[in-house]
Amino acid sequence: MTTLHVLAADLHTLAASGQKSAEVTDWAARIGWVVGLGLFVALVYWLMREGWKWRGTLQGDLPELPTAPDDPGPARLTMTGRYHGSTTAGQWLDRIVAQGLGSRSRAELTLTDAGLAVVRTGAPDFFVPAGQLREARLDKGIAGKVLTEGGLLIVTWEHGERLIDSGFRSDTAAEHGGWADTLNTMIKKTEGAR
């Protein structure tokens, strides 16, 4: 007898005995797993949110962000793009969330002789006076965002007792080099005037 004959005989015997196959889906167990997974995701989200709020509490000593003066003067450079966040200078993973600096958003940057104005969509605007600018460089990452080498314009500035790195990405990445050069030239002139 071949294997095919054996299978046919077993199938015939099974059909004659009236046996049925087992149910494939145990709905109670499936619903339990889905509800459990949903609760786990909600718990993780809640813990992340609480961590974000706790970080903001720890950074509560950060003073209010300066606002742009009424007449900052003519624009040297303008740029539209994204603001990717701020970190403690030199520590690209130590995100600053106080005063709204942790919110990623669209941004318009305007550099004048008075300083750097950052106008953000859905987040507080801020202004960095020329005397508080410390350095500009091209880098590949800041907390929460990693790109190719030179993909981010990082502006280092002083606020209160802290040095802060803020990361920006232009809609036209070719602008980054010109911005870094202009900012560094402006910073050297400002330091020379002190």
Question: Does the pLDDT value for residue 73 go beyond 90?
Answer: no
Q: What is the pLDDT of residue 22?
A: 61
The rounded distance, in Å, linking the Cα atoms of 123 and 102 is 9
Print the SS3 string covering 75-102: CCEEEEEEEEEEEECCCCCCEECHHHCC
Contact 109, 121 (CB under 8 A): no
Q: What is the C-alpha to C-alpha distance for residues 30 and 25, in angstroms, rounded to an integer?
A: 8
pLDDT for res 63: 83
Q: What pLDDT score was predicted for residue 181?
A: 92
What integer pLDDT is reported at residue 23 of this predicted model? 66
**Residues contacting 118, CB < 8 A, separation 6+:** 83, 107, 108, 109, 125, 126, 127, 128, 166
pLDDT reported for residue 168: 92
Q: Residues 23-34: what's their mean pLDDT? A: 84
pTM: 0.72
Please compute the mean of the pLDDT values over residues 80-87 and round it to a whole number.
91
Average pLDDT score, the chain: 84
CA distance 164 to 31: 48
Q: What is the dihedral of CA 74, 80, 82, 86, to 10 degrees?
A: -10
From CA 169, how far away is CA 80, in angstroms rounded?
8
Give the model confidence (pLDDT) of 103-135 as tens digits: 889 999 999 989 999 999 988 899 999 889 999
